[in-house]
Amino acid sequence: MDLFLVKHNLEKNYPVVQEETLPHPQRAAVMVMLYPKPKKIHMLMTQRARHLKHHAGEMSFPGGVFEEQDEDLMFTALRETEEELGIRVEPENVLGRLPIVNTRLGFEVTPFVAVLPSAPEYEPAEEEVEEVLEIPFTSLFATQQKEVGSKSVDEGVVYWFRHHRIWGASAKIIKQIGHLSMY
């Protein structure tokens, strides 16, 4: 994966656009963080705590539901990243806003992509995060499989990292990011 090409394609095709966001209980945003580690581009993901009411134990990007006090969806993604992982992503490192991903439960998830100069230091919120995973992107993308029972080839993909199954909205976002390095 070429980080320069990803940056270029984000800025050219998916620029961050500040726009008013109206509160809605199913509008959410997540932060995808890409960064170099020796010889590979990595991405940070979390396994959600198993005691949570929603999406317990699932693999996800830091993020959450838009709250009325948030300025916009990017602010939501930045706030949630800091709350969940103790990582303060500088707005100038957020280079792209990918297309909305709709979940099977009716959520509209807006993914933001930050390109960081190095691996971030994190301190996960134990009440929300079970595990933090630094995943080599190219290795992860190579595990793409069609999700069994999926009706649509475009929608139903799954990825694997060690014993972790990544599916649903997170898998759709990974697929979008993989395409950024291909053209």
pLDDT per position as a tens digit, 172-183: 999 999 888 765
Is residue 52 domain-resident? yes
Work out the percent of the chain whose per-residue pLDDT is above 90. Answer: 56
What's the pLDDT at 14? Answer: 93
* Domain encompassing residue 111: 3-137
Is residue 173 domain-resident? no
Is residue 174 domain-resident? no
pLDDT per position as a tens digit, 56-111: 568 999 999 999 899 999 999 999 999 999 999 999 999 999 999 998 888 899 99
Question: Which residue's structure tokens are 């898998």?
Answer: 171
CATH number of the domain where residue 133 is located: 3.90.79.10
Counting the structural domains of the chain, the total is 1
69: Cβ–Cβ under 8 A, 6 or more apart, which residues? none
Q: Is the pLDDT of residue 133 over 90?
A: yes
Is residue 116 domain-resident? yes
Using the 8-state DSSP alphabet, how is residue 92 labeled?
Answer: G
- Between 156 and 132, the more confident residue is 132
Is residue 169 domain-resident? no
Is residue 171 domain-resident? no
pLDDT per position as a tens digit, 9-34: 999 999 998 777 766 778 999 999 99
Is residue 172 domain-resident? no
> In 3D, which of 67, 68, 60 has the Cα closest to residue 111?
60
Is residue 175 domain-resident? no
Query: What does the alpha-carbon distance between residue 174 and residue 183 come to, in Å, rounded to a whole number?
Result: 16
**What pTM was estimated for this model as a whole?**
0.90
Q: CB atoms < 10 A from the CB of 17, how many?
A: 8
